[in-house]
Structure 1
């Protein structure tokens, strides 16, 4: 089923939808899930998997964020705004999750031919472009200066970023993760991170160059496409698009042999998170 080396073409695509259940658990659950899927897909015991997830009012921090000179004050600011926070185990810097941000993880075996870092990013970019191919707007992949968690594969329309992509590679599996700002104000999300860094840096010189956030370069798909979109509608677009790339597409949950893996990985990411943050909370 793999045509022209396009990694989206798979004999089987397994879908694990946690876009509703994720609202009731910590975002650490999702990073434990993706590590689990990397292990099971990477070993060949599970097929290529797409997982969707949503967590409400959560700031996902990167490791560099934990080195802010005034992190305690920055975390206190987030708490006052009603946000929870975790430190993720993949790359990048602080991002905003809420009920209008859909996260998608594509999990593939690393043995896939040509599955280098850029190929991982390209497979997600390709998926998103196809999901919104009925709109005339062009979705570009390039760094958007002034955005939060900037990177060379920021997804944008007309210079405004609506999505960011990261990767996690363990146990011969690759999880390519994206957050899609579906609805709501991208500028307001940007302002939260802008104020987080203002509190965390507090005018000090730092070895690491934290991004200078320009909230106006962030937007949601609803704002950029001029059409009111919901997470459920984008989920439907995802499923319709994947059908074009799959010999067989099926909904699933963790299998019996994956459950102990999840318990182990979830415990690991939780302990790591607590260890990193314990001196600041």
Structure 2
């Protein structure tokens, strides 16, 4: 049996007893809180890490330089070009192309991804997610005029690089100057879920993707993350994506294992003073 111990201040919560977790699945109050987590165990999107397997991080590596004094040079124009190129190359990918082995949804666009343990369906995301993108890009300098879901995503893919570059530039300036500060998060804290099976675990980011990539680029090893819940593989049959029919319990549990696919380092979790 694999056990994961999370330390928060003077309180310790033992997570990893599959039977116990299954009994109290949904009682998130016992685990919810802010923890200091190792970036090596972070996962984004469909299992990307914060390393260069992450397409955006790979571009940042080419566009950002850190000198010996800690000074940052970030080539926004180059980032814009490379990011738009990458997004256009990936706009035609399907969920199946990304390794989501769930036949009912495998042919949908990759941007329709909804993990099986989260609420919502891939088809719902096809309708609603592009409008979230439209609002987010507008707040970062890119106005998208169309309301057609596919066209929104295509316009974002072709033109979103500039607004993403501006967002990364602000974060490089902020985090390199003062470190990662919780008091600057406002109403948008870093949030994640702990995913675990009987062999390993990871934390799956649910917000703050740009911040985490910048922190990783700057060499930070730990970040303060608000843990919302623990998702054990043994509870797959209860997950929303299984109930909706997007996944079977088997494909859902297999997908969780694919996302984890990282080292098991219990010492990576430390208490925040």
Higher relative contact order (CA 8 A, sep 6+): 2
TM-score, normalisation: structure 1: 0.27
Give TM-score, length-normalised by structure 2. Answer: 0.27
| Greater C-alpha Rg | 2
Structure with the higher fraction of residues in helix conformation: 2
Instruction: Name the structure where strand makes up a greater proportion of residues.
Output: 1
